[in-house]
Amino acid sequence: MPVCCLSELRHVQLNLLFFLVSFFKFNYPRVQRNRKSRNNMPRVSLTTLFGVDPTTDDKHHFETSWILPPAILAGLRGLISLYIFTSIFIFWGWYGTHDDNASIGHSFSYFTWLTYWGIGFYMLFAAIHTACYARTRRSILLDRWPRGLRVLHSLLYVTVTTYPFLVTVVFWALLFTPPWYEKIFTGWQNISLHCLNSVYALLEILLPATAPHPFIAIPFLILMLLLYLCIAYITHETEGWYPYSFLDVGDHGRKSKLVTGYCFGILAAVLVIFLVSWALIHLRRRLTHGKIKRSRRDPLSARNAFAGTCVGGRLNEMKGVPG
């Protein structure tokens, strides 16, 4: 290499080294200050992001309604849970008595069935919590649960007010083909799984005193969809069939682009449904002014049938509610 090129290269290296030293010398104090300022910033816990931190305990959002007394709300949730579990076992009994035992195991590969189970368990736990509050003026189980379980309860509420609408839309828009089912049992089964599920979700949006969905739940909704996608393709690899025809990538992946489009379409639908559900809950709280019908045994209901501290003639129940 010529001497002039070597000298030029050294010159460039020295200039670069000088620039890096100057840059680090100038910015290091700023980086240290930013690091200290970040350390001094208050950290927001996951329980706060999900709206289940101790400051919201006395509001009993999951156990109360703005229109129904706790006892009636508990009874309604209990009846819905009873219907869901009863219908599931009737469906399984039908399969067993009609030489279709395989469908019982196959049901756990369907997102529809998993969502239906989720609604049933949420209604069961919500009914128990609401009944305990109505009876004892306290959320006995929720008060004893770790905060992490409260976060999961809040996340379960988000799923049962989001996924059922997705199931209904996908089934009637993509999967159902007329005419209507000839067998009454098949028609009842599909109404239960693909119609009443959205009715239950809508009731949980409109009736309880729950706060709007926390936006931190969106990544979890997406993660659960991805996990279900794993279940669907594991089912295909182990048993040779797809739970849903639109997930079939075809021979040598020739329909992979179409399947990708369906997946992104479902993802977009979930996000839209989440926002609509959030907006409906937010609107409900605005129209009802955050009112809560408390248990008669609740000390906070002594002066008013609804919860909240009256400030300037208005209820202050919505103060501090996330969303």
- pLDDT tens digits, residue range 237-286? 999 999 999 999 988 888 999 999 999 999 999 999 999 999 999 999 99
Quote the pLDDT of residue 308: 46
**Residue 323: inside a domain:** no
- The tokens of 107 are what? 């049901």
Q: How far is CA 78 from CA 124, 222, 300, in A?
A: 6, 29, 26
What's the average model confidence in pLDDT over 85-112?
96
- Pick the closest to residue 91 from 226, 199, 216, 189 (CA basis): 189
Question: What kind and span of H or E run contains 167?
Answer: helix 163-170
**β-strand partners of 310:** 315
| Full domain range(s) for residue 229 | 46-315
What's the average model confidence in pLDDT over 62-87?
96
Report residue 69: phi and psi, to 5°.
-60, 155
Q: What percent of the chain has pLDDT over 90?
A: 60
CA torsion through residues 117, 119, 120, 121, sign: positive
**Identity at 94, one-letter amino acid code:** W
**Residue 25: inside a domain:** no
Is 104's pLDDT higher than 50? yes
> Is 187:180 a contact under the CB 8 Å cutoff?
yes
Report residue 132: phi and psi, to 5°.
-60, -40
Quote the pLDDT of residue 139: 76
Quote the pLDDT of residue 115: 98
**Residue 24: inside a domain:** no
- Read off the pLDDT of residues 29-74 as tens digits, 9 standing for 90 and up: 554 555 554 555 556 777 788 877 776 667 788 899 999 999 999 9
Extract the runs of DSSP E, i.e. beta strands, from the chain: 310-311, 314-315
Quote the pLDDT of residue 21: 52
Quote the pLDDT of residue 315: 43
Q: Could you give the CA distance from residue 3 to residue 129 in angstroms, rounded to a whole number?
A: 84
> Is 243:110 a contact under the CB 8 Å cutoff?
yes
Report residue 99: phi and psi, to 5°.
55, 40
> Is 307:294 a contact under the CB 8 Å cutoff?
yes
- Read off the pLDDT of residues 135-154 as tens digits, 9 standing for 90 and up: 887 777 777 788 888 899 99
- The tokens of 288 are what? 């009802």
**Residue 40: inside a domain:** no
> Residue with structure tokens 């045994």?
297
**Residue 320: inside a domain:** no
Quote the pLDDT of residue 5: 43
- The tokens of 249 are what? 């990538």
**Residue 9: inside a domain:** no
- Read off the pLDDT of residues 5-24 as tens digits, 9 standing for 90 and up: 444 444 544 554 555 455 44
Helix (H, G, I), strand (E, B) or coil at 65: strand
Report residue 306: phi and psi, to 5°.
-115, 155
Q: How far is CA 136 from CA 130, 207, 212, 304, 321, in A?
A: 10, 22, 27, 18, 24
**Residue 142: inside a domain:** yes
> Residue with structure tokens 């002066």?
303
Structurally, how many domains does the chain consist of?
Answer: 1
Helix (H, G, I), strand (E, B) or coil at 315: strand
Quote the pLDDT of residue 293: 83
**Residue 181: inside a domain:** yes
